Chain A
Amino acid sequence: MDLKSPSKATNEDRRGRIITYSCIGIIIVLVVSILYFIASRGLATFIQNHVNVFRFLTGTQWNPSLLDSHGQPEVGALPMITTSFLVTILAAIVATPFAFAVAIYMVEIAPKRGTKLLQPVMELLVGIPSVVYGFIGLTVIVPIVRHIFGGTGVGILAGTLVLFVMILPTVTSLSVDALTAVPMYLRSASLALGATRWQTIRKVILRAAMPRLLTAIIFGMARAFGEALAVQMVIGNAALMPTSLVSPTSTLTSQLTTEVGNTVMGTIQNNALWSLALILLLMSLVFNLLVHFIGKRGEIK
């Protein structure tokens, strides 16, 4: 036996390592180039086209082909930023109580029945493509909103309702995970001190699970913030500052999907869209950091 030459196992080990590292390498290169691409394009608006960043973030007129009174292109992104945040926050506010209620039912109240019944429903909701949600929103929600509030029916309210259904399964299943992660012994401890089941849920389980529940909400918000297609179908796609919950407007994503086909690479119209994309990217970074931060603080050891 030759002890000096590498064994078969060592060779396999090395091969496995090479494959793993090259895959990781490729992914890192990909991510970095995507980031670089979006950043360089997104910043071109400010560097090449000399748009003032502050005016970009606070301007309410979006019309990149026209010049404003200062001789600068009209690229005020505030309407899209506002609408994006509004639909996201409203959808999260509406979805959270439902998600928590369903999760509590599934974990604490009727684990067997609840899981058998609701798990498939949630999985189904996740599996429905967003264009279908948008379509349903357009044919069901928009007419109802129109009927009740008048106007066109499109806008933040319709967007919120569609996003509510879309993020519900995400927030619910993460909330279920959060509640399941609360150790059994805390329930016993509470019950043995004379607490009722409801007191136990409210005062121990929800409290102990709070960091992870917040994380669930943030994941839902991240999904809502980034959703494009379904929102585009019900939001109205007018780059206007929303005047009410039922006025046509645009989110960052819907503006991108609507306009991207109509612009030529390298022009201000195109660069301005990349700047919107850059905001989206930065926001998803913020969401990730939030999740990270909350997760760190809420670790139960």
Chain B
Amino acid sequence: MTSALLETENVHLYYGEKEALKGINIDFKPNTINALIGPSGCGKSTYLRCLNRMNDLISGVKITGTFNFKGTDIYAPDVNLVTLRTEIGMVFQQPNPFPFSVYDNVAYGLRLNQHPSKTELDEKIEKALKKAAVWDEVKDDLNKNAMAFSGGQQQRICIARLLAVSPDIILLDEPTSALDPISSGEIEATLMQLKSTYTIIIVTHNLQQASRISDTTSFMLNGELIETGQTSKLFVTPDKQETSDYLNGKFG
């Protein structure tokens, strides 16, 4: 049994008075795809945003619990947010490329704190776009505005933009819900390839998607973690009644 890359324990989160997460414990092992499922409003995005501290930007948020990433607490006062977010990166629901060229998009993270040479940059950008499986579609248009591509291509450009800064963990919040089935399929294929190098945590409403690509699945309901385990097991023989109800479309 390999040990977990990221362990979260007893995570509580309050938006002001409202308790949105009520004690979540999930561990993530390296080189796995982990799905978070659950009905709308159960706190999936909220939990995901805790993992790269994007909730810090929202005022009135209180977070307790432990988040152990490679042996350090990511909420420790001396944690460098910049480093953290390059190690635990995020892809959003809506493709959100910058209104710049594809090249500048992917170069963005690389240029933030260093001044890589042109050749170094070219190399890393090509590599990132290849890993995100979008290189063939954009290689002749690197100077074209990223907004001019299709939604699926934009999303993969966003993935490439993230891969360029070589994160350990990739958080994806419903990355395919704004996309057509073909583009979604391409993103899924991309994620499967990335699994060998990265650890992926993906929120999805698409249960087939979760069962197709993920190794573990966690089912959340009303801010609580109902069940977490191997996808193959959870989808076939869930332990909890709520899980089986949800999987059978009884609510959500």
Contacts and interface: CB of A to CB of B under 8 A. Distances in A.
A54 interface: no
Contact of A193 (B85, B94, B99): B85
Interface string A268-301: 0000000000000000000000000000000011
Secondary structure class of chain A's binding surface, majority of residues: helix
B110 to A, nearest CB: 10
A189 B112 contact: no
A183 B89 CA distance: 20
B214 interface: no
B117 interface: no
Contacts of B98: 186, 189-190, 204, 207-208
Most chain-A CB neighbours within 10 Å: which of B85, B94, B108, B111? B108
B39 interface: no
Contacts of A188: 54, 57, 92, 96
A192 B85 contact: yes
B201 to A, nearest CB: 14
Contacts of B85: 191-194
Interface residues of B, number: 28
Interface residues of A, number: 19
A204 B108 CA distance: 9
B147 A195 contact: no
Interface string A185-212: 1101111111110010001100110000
Interface of B: 52, 54, 57, 81-86, 89-90, 92, 94, 96-100, 108-109, 111-113, 147, 158, 161-162, 165
Given A194-B109, A208-B99, 10 more contacts: A183-B96, A188-B96, A189-B96, A191-B85, A193-B86, A194-B81, A194-B82, A194-B83, A195-B109, A300-B99
**Which 6 pairs from chain A and chain B are nearest by CB?**
A194-B85, A194-B86, A185-B96, A192-B90, A193-B109, A194-B82
